[in-house]
Amino acid sequence: MKNGDIVEFKRKGFVSCVLGGLLKLFNPSWDAWGWHLGILWEGSLDGWIILEATGTGVKINWYSARYLMRNTRCWKWFDESPSRASMNKFFKSHIDKKYDIEVYFWTALAVIVRHYINRPVSKILDEKYSCWELVQEFTADMGKPIQSKYDVVLITDIINTLKARTD
C-alpha cells in the first residue's frame, strides 16, 4: 500500500446491496465485493488517512490498519506514487466539496442507456463528488485517467479496469 493507491471498501448496508445487485445484473464480470472507494493519502504503522467522498462531502478520515485489512482491497493504479505537491494541490481544490447525491439518478440512467443503447452517458461537470467521481478525477489530475471524466462513472468500470491491470 502506498500514497495514491485506490482503496475499495467492502459492500455493506441495504442501499449498496440493492444498487450493487442491480449493477451486477448488467455487468456480470464485476465481482460486486465493494461499493465505496477512497484514495490512500498518508500511512502510518497503525493505519491510513484516506481521502474520500461521503455523505458529508470530501473529507479525510483515518482508518486503523486492522480495519483496512478486514474490510478493504487496495488497488495499485500508478506505477509510482503521485508527487506530494500534485496530491496537495488536488486536496486543496477538493476538500470539503459537497457530496453528489444526484449520482444515483445518473448511475441508473447510465446503466440503462449502456445496456439498451450501447452508448456512454455524458457526465454533468459540477463541483460535487461521489466517491467514484473523486477517484475518477484524482486519477485524471495525476496524469493517468482511469476513464474519461466526461462519462458517468460506475464502480463496475473502475474495479474492472483496476482488476485488468493486475491480472
Q: Name 93's bridge partners.
A: none
96-128 residue pLDDT tens: 999 877 766 667 667 767 666 766 666 666 677
Using an 8 Å Cβ cutoff, are 99 and 69 in contact? Answer: no
Cα–chain-centroid distance for residue 156? Answer: 10
23-43 residue pLDDT tens: 888 888 888 899 899 999 999
C-alpha cell at 149: 471524466
Q: Name 36's bridge partners.
A: 9
Using an 8 Å Cβ cutoff, are 35 and 155 in contact? Answer: yes
Using an 8 Å Cβ cutoff, are 142 and 51 in contact? Answer: no
Supply the pLDDT for residue 125.
Answer: 61
Q: Which amino acid is at 98?
A: K
- Pick from 39, 52, 38, 46: which is nearest to 66 by CA? 46
C-alpha cell at 75: 488497488
Judging by beta carbons within 10 Å of its beta carbon (0-12, 13-18, 19+), is residue 131 exposed, middle or buried?
A: buried
Which secondary-structure segment (H or E) carries 159?
A: helix 155-166
DSSP state of 98: E
Cα–chain-centroid distance for residue 52? Answer: 8
pLDDT: which is higher, 147 or 114: 147
Q: 4's torsion region: left (phi>0), alpha (psi -120 to 50) or beta? A: left
32-84 residue pLDDT tens: 899 899 999 999 989 999 999 998 999 999 999 999 999 999 999 999 999 99
Cα of first residue to Cα of last residue in the chain, in angstroms, is 18
pLDDT at 149 over 80: no
Kindly list the domain boundaries of the chain, sorted by start residue. 6-166
DSSP state of 122: B
pLDDT: which is higher, 99 or 140: 140
Mean pLDDT, rounded, for 130-139:
94
Supply the pLDDT for residue 135.
Answer: 96
* Grid cell 460486486 in the structure block, residue: 32
